[in-house]
Structure 1
């Protein structure tokens, strides 16, 4: 059963509206630039009132980070849904499938690249992104700990292995994306597979 099936209608609606606002805002950021895009222009393009906007996001910066919040939720759901007897490294690889599928669309990939440039160019946004990334990996490490315990391999709280293996998976994904951007004829799924194939020793 999917995670969405356990959510209330109100929560599913909230997530859907947040995702729509993030999508509209990203398009405007790419077209107009981050600084030139106002909350008013986002709400106008999305067909929402400014008051409604602030029910979902506290600020324009919070909306930019909403992309990473949604991604974190998606990755957690993807990892949680993997079979309990699947090796952790394999589960982490499959966790990225939806992200990879999203970037298979060239327009989505171009928008993602532009948003990453926007975030990198702003000290405030970059700091907020790094905070989100740290939280994202911490949440995923908790799921890894739970999987290991259920498999009869409990990890002590002082064991950094779950955090390390999640961090390594993210590093592989980042390296594969950089290579895919640099060499247009390379397949991102193949690059992720290649980056991850030689690193896994966690459950062997």
Structure 2
């Protein structure tokens, strides 16, 4: 199926309403303030009350936007997962699934290259905070669920066949490579580009 045909099959996306836009604006402000405090004080030493006070919200109001303090840190990952899935779907149809997955991850490598110090601080916080590591794993499982249908399509199989584990295996392996590359990137203090580390990790499984 051509890119034009795939695009034509999709119904036009309804623009967000005023309430949704206002909610997104408040969420973005909370995330920005929280990340600054986390960087200055550390995740565990930063309280929800501090974050709420800086943004001008009550504690109860903040929890209407984010269920937990961890969600403030990891909220960006939901959007990242959607962006990766969209990038994967946009890759050429004749591209092999493994290569298409690698290229879809360019969404993340480009963001990290744009602000490497900020990205390193963020990843280091994820790796050094046990509660965040656990929630990060949960978020990546949701990424896998987003990627599997497109991987299955590229393999020419139905995503509704749980007995065929190839799509899940490819998506899970690609995400594991992404984690390994991110860990190495933090360990080397960003001296080697994340994209290079990711290429190395994913090439090792291709060989």
Per the TM superposition, whether the score is higher than 0.5 is yes
What is the distance in 1 between the residues matched to 2:94 and 2:185?
31
Aligned residue in 2 for 1:106: 116
| Structure 2, unpaired ranges of 5+ | 1-6
Aligned residue in 1 for 2:3: none
What is the distance in 2 between the residues matched to 1:69 and 1:119?
19
Distance 1:109 1:41, change over 3 A: same
Distance 1:65 1:177, change over 3 A: closer
Which of the numbers 189, 192, 196 marks the counterpart of 2:195? 189
Matches within 5 A, 1:21-170: 21-48=30-57, 50=59, 52-104=61-113, 105-120=115-130, 122=131, 125-148=132-155, 153-155=156-158, 156-170=161-175
Contact 1:103/1:109 (<8 A) preserved: yes
Residue 119 of structure 1 deviates from its aligned partner by: 3.2
Residue 163 of structure 1 deviates from its aligned partner by: 0.8
Distance 1:73 1:115, change over 3 A: farther
Segments of 4+ moved more than 6 angstroms: none
| Structure 1, unpaired ranges of 5+ | none
Q: TM-score, normalised by structure 2?
A: 0.76
Distance 1:49 1:143, change over 3 A: farther
What is the distance in 2 between the residues matched to 1:6 and 1:160?
32
What is the distance in 2 between the residues matched to 1:84 and 1:16?
36
What is the distance in 1 between the residues matched to 2:148 and 2:62?
32
Aligned residues: 192
Contact 2:101/2:174 (<8 A) preserved: yes
What is the distance in 2 between the residues matched to 1:77 and 1:17?
25
- Helix, strand or coil: the match of 1:199? helix
